[in-house]
Amino acid sequence: MSATKPQGLSSTLYKPNALATPSPIEVLVRARYPLLFVVTWEEERALNQLFTIAEALNKKLYNWTIVQGLARYRPGTDGNIEGRKGTKDPLVALREVVTMQEPAVYVFQDFHNFIMDSSVKRTLRDLATALRSSLSTVILLSPVLKIPDELEKDVTIVDFPLPGREELEHLVEQISHDIAQNPSLAVDMSAESREAIINAAVGLTLNEAENVFAKTLVTAQKLDASQAPNIYSEKKQIIRKSGLLEYIDVEETLQGVGGLDSLKSWIGRRRGAMDPKARAFGLPPPKGLLLVGVQGCGKSLAAKATANELKYPLLRMDVGRLFSKMVGETEFNIRRALMIAEAVAPVVLWIDEIEKGLSGVKSSGSSDAGTTSRVFGTIITWLQEKKSPVFVMATANDIEELPPEILRKGRFDEIFFVDLPSEPERRDIFAIHLGRRGRDPKTFDLDYLAKCSEGYSGAEIEQAIIEALFNAYGAKPDIETIDVVNAVKRQVPLSQTMRNSIHARRMWAIGRTVNASSSSDLVESLERVSSDDDGKEAMYLDYIRRARDVPESVRYEAERYLGGFPEKSADAEKMKIYLKDFSRLAEKIAHGQIPPAR
């Protein structure tokens, strides 16, 4: 028993006596796969499950470590049973497996330390061939995935899942039973407290969960719903240690985000859909959002505020960090990161600047042996098929770099375009940032500040206030409206330096995305900008406006007759004719003068 555990708390972990449904490992053992590589940090839990599998199949279980050699394994025993001498050497132990005729499962622990040796690789390849005609299986058990190229076709990788809610609930019940005779300790077993404790503990290993429960009992003398934040804090450290995901502490709220009212309203409507009651009602858990648009306009801020609004932890995935030079390790990192996100659900998973992590998909076959393509395939398949309440918030700046597959309906619930803030939104943004810095927004001419900052992003407005504070510090008692105005005028906004790029993003967004703000109109914004191409762009915008002014059913029927609006490469005269035909046809369809197209 650990010295940190309170008296009365058993250190024996929950060990399932039977597997409700065949696990992936059991299926592979039954199918006589010769070599498996099980990736897990939970040796004891994995060995106990393997013992259950072996027992159900009338096989013996042996385990090997560099310290003890090859020995018969039985749960709850510290000494070696039916141990074999001279098998501490990994080569000798592997050769010993070949000579043993009895049906068995052989578990080699921490074998990643030896698998790159040329003799070990050759022996494992020979062993794989020999085991195909036997009733035995060799399992390499390790927290580190390391497979040499020579064994890539012989070894099957198996991810060992973290304990589910049922195992964690059984652990809480066991702890409650263990401390029943200790009057100074208490575990609240009410449904509400138990749900809160389990929600906070999902994503931990069974050992980690037991340790944090014991720590909570030592420090608080109780384990109930009020201690959930302490359990979450332990989970935060564990997630950070994994190096795959980053746990983000959020203080931002949707009220602290200027503008984006359409996005806020959408989040508000989906907030209750994560609840288990929504599942009973027939609602699937929301998949998430893709936010695209102009840099510095609040996409990342909105992702953080959404997590706070939903009252869920926020995990950030840096796709680039997950890439590795080892064969198969990048794909394993992606799967492991997604598995952790699902294990700690409900959670918000933030994939910032997703286009940078997935750039180069098209050339992946020649540049990185297809690794990026496989990673991309894993992510989009998971986005489509996931059932757990993981709400994905992906952001992207460079729309052209996004693979078209990720934009298909079903990956995300909605795609929002975050444009430069409108005048009312800029007014709100000035008020928010002045208030954050201890200034009363009512003492500033917010209307004038909003007018003189047209074309500025939220980040540029914040920077203008910071610059005004720097300029005023030590020179005058406090900043005034004129100080902020001067700071704004000294900046050159992105809307000028990246005018063509922003214009192209807005053109792309029309018809493909939902505007995150109801106070701004992409068509009107684009019409204010002069265009060339013989007025083609203006005609396209005119078509968008006309199409929005008629019922959707009328637009659908008109486009069935005429086809879609001509491509940009088409002749300008063809576009003019299309506009005239569309207006004339839409009017006749609306008045029932033309039957539906067949």
- What pLDDT digit, counting tens, does each position of 445-457 carry? 999 899 889 889 9
Residues of the chain with CATH 1.10.8.60: 423-496
- Which of the residue ranges 36-40, 240-244, 324-328, 377-381 has the most confident prediction, judged by mean pLDDT? 36-40
Q: Return the higher-pLDDT residue of 279 and 474.
A: 474
Mean pLDDT of the chain: 82
Please say if the pLDDT value at position 520 is more than 60: yes
Asked whether 579 and 546 are in contact (CB, 8 A), the reply is yes
Maximum Cα–Cα distance for the chain, whole Å? 94
Segment 102-124 mean pLDDT: 93
Q: Which two tokens stand for residue 588?
A: 């006749």
Mean pLDDT of 126-136: 91
Which residues, other chains included, contact 381 with Cβ-Cβ below 8 Å and sequence gap of 6+? Answer: none
Name the residue among 264, 285, 332 with its Cα closest to residue 517. 264
pLDDT tier at 19 (50, 70, 90 boundaries)? very low
CA geometry: angle at 63 spanning 58 and 66, to 5°?
A: 170
The pLDDT of residue 2: 41
Structure tokens at 407: 């934009």
Residues written for the chain: 598
Contact, 260 vs 302, CB < 8 A? yes
How does residue 268 score in pLDDT terms, banded at 50, 70 and 90? confident
Residue 149 token pair:
């190229």
DSSP for 91-159, written as a single string: HHHHHHHHH--S-EEEEEETGGGTTTSHHHHHHHHHHHHHHTTSS-EEEEEESS----GGGTTTEEEEE
Q: Closest Cα to residue 155, out of 171, 142, 173, 169? A: 142
Q: Which amino acid is at 251?
A: E
Nearest to 564 by CA among 496, 508, 506, 511: 511
Hey, what CATH class is 32-159 in?
alpha beta
The percentage of residues in the chain with a pLDDT greater than 90, rounded to a whole number, is 22
CATH fold for domain 254-418: Rossmann fold (3.40.50)
Q: Quick one: tokens of 115?
A: 């698998």
The pLDDT tens digits for 502-514 are: 877 887 777 778 8
| Helices and strands in the chain: count of H runs, count of E runs | 25, 15
Whether the pLDDT of residue 118 is over 70: the answer is yes
Nearest Cα neighbor of 398 from 533, 276, 522, 504 is 504
Nearest residue to 395 via CA among 543, 257, 296: 296
Flag the least confident range among 110-124, 291-305, 500-514, 519-533: 519-533
Output the CATH code of domain 423-496.
1.10.8.60
Q: Which of 519, 325, 337, 327 is closest to 421 using CA atoms? A: 519
In sequence order, the 6+-apart residues with CB closer than 8 A to the CB of 514 are 262, 414, 415, 416, 417
Q: Residue 18: its pLDDT value, please?
A: 43
Q: Bigger pLDDT: 123 or 279?
A: 123
Nearest to 259 by CA among 60, 430, 466, 500: 430
pTM confidence score = 0.64
Q: Which amino acid is it at 186?
A: A
Q: What is the location of CATH 3.40.50.300 in the chain?
A: 32-159, 254-418
Task: Look at residue 511 and give its three-state secondary structure.
Answer: coil
Question: How high is the pLDDT of residue 3?
Answer: 40
CA 151 to CA 157: how far, in whole Å? Answer: 11
* Residue 404 neighbours by CB distance under 10 Å: 6
Q: What is the mean pLDDT of residues 148-176?
A: 89
Least confident of 223-237, 290-304, 382-396, 470-484: 223-237
**Tens digits of residue pLDDT in 465-488:** 999 999 888 888 889 898 999 899
Q: Is 566 helix (H, G, I), strand (E, B) or coil?
A: coil
Q: From 1.10.8, 3.30.160, 2.60.120, 1.10.150, which CATH number describes the 165-243 domain?
A: 1.10.8
Q: Is 90 exceeded by the pLDDT of residue 329? A: no
Q: Tell me, rounded to whole angstroms, the distance of Cα 498 from its chain centroid.
A: 30
* DSSP for 201-225, written as a single string: HTTS-HHHHHHHHHHHHHHHSEESG
CA distances (Å), 495 to each of 296, 310, 421, 503, 507, in order? Answer: 11, 33, 11, 9, 15
- DSSP character string of 167-207: HHHHHHHHHHHHTTT-TT-EE--SHHHHHHHHHHHTTS-HH
Structural element, H or E, at residue 364: helix 364-367
Residue 117: burial class (beta carbons within 10 Å; 0-12, 13-18, 19+): middle
195-201 contact pairs (CB < 8 A, 24+): 196/224, 196/225, 196/228, 197/172, 197/223, 197/224, 197/225, 197/227, 197/228, 197/231, 198/165, 198/168, 198/169, 198/172, 199/228, 199/346, 200/228, 200/229, 200/231, 200/232, 200/235, 201/168, 201/231, 201/235
475-507 CB burial, b ≥16 within 10 A, e <16: eeeebebebbbebbeeeebbbeeeeebbbebbb
Tokens 């019922």 label which residue? Answer: 551
